[in-house]
Amino acid sequence: DADVTQTPRNRITKTGKRIMLECSQTKGHDRMYWYRQDPGLGLRLIYYSFDVKDINKGEISDGYSVSRQAQAKFSLSLESAIPNQTALYFCATSESGTGSEKLFFGSGTQLSVL
């Protein structure tokens, strides 16, 4: 079984709809992240959480919200989806302290907003 699991793998939605992407991990890591990948722009950080009570905005948080339901679960919501949120979304985890820059990624969710 994958250490970092994202659901769904693919999602097509319409402009204005609310959607949620889910992430769960079995690595026991405290830190969790949501990134989006766009061609030529690499991976950009949306939100991150260092523990259950800690939520922080990343580089591109506008239009997104997150919930850290438990140490192992971190979900990303698009309250009202728009076409430029079409992208590949990745959840990632890392340890606390030394080595925390080494991220472990899920397989991604391809989101298309029509």
| The one among 66, 81, 103, 111 contacting another protein by CB under 8 A | 103
DSSP string, 27-41: S--SEEEEEEEETTT
Cα–Cα nearest to 7, from 94, 112, 89, 98: 89
| Only segment of 13-21, 66-74, 76-84, 97-105 that touches another protein (CB under 8 A) | 97-105
Distance of closest approach, residue 80 Cβ to another protein, in angstroms: 27
> Given the complex with another protein, which of 20 and 45 has the nearer CB atom?
45
> Given the complex with another protein, which of 80 and 96 has the nearer CB atom?
96
Distance of closest approach, residue 19 Cβ to another protein, in angstroms: 20
Dihedral of CA atoms 47, 49, 55, 57 in degrees, nearest 10, equals -30
Tokens 């971190």, residue? 74
- CA distance linking residue 56 with residue 33, whole number of Å: 10
The reply on whether position 57 binds another protein by CB under 8 A is no
Rule CB under 8 A: which residues touch another protein? Answer: 4, 40-45, 48, 56, 58, 90, 92, 100-108
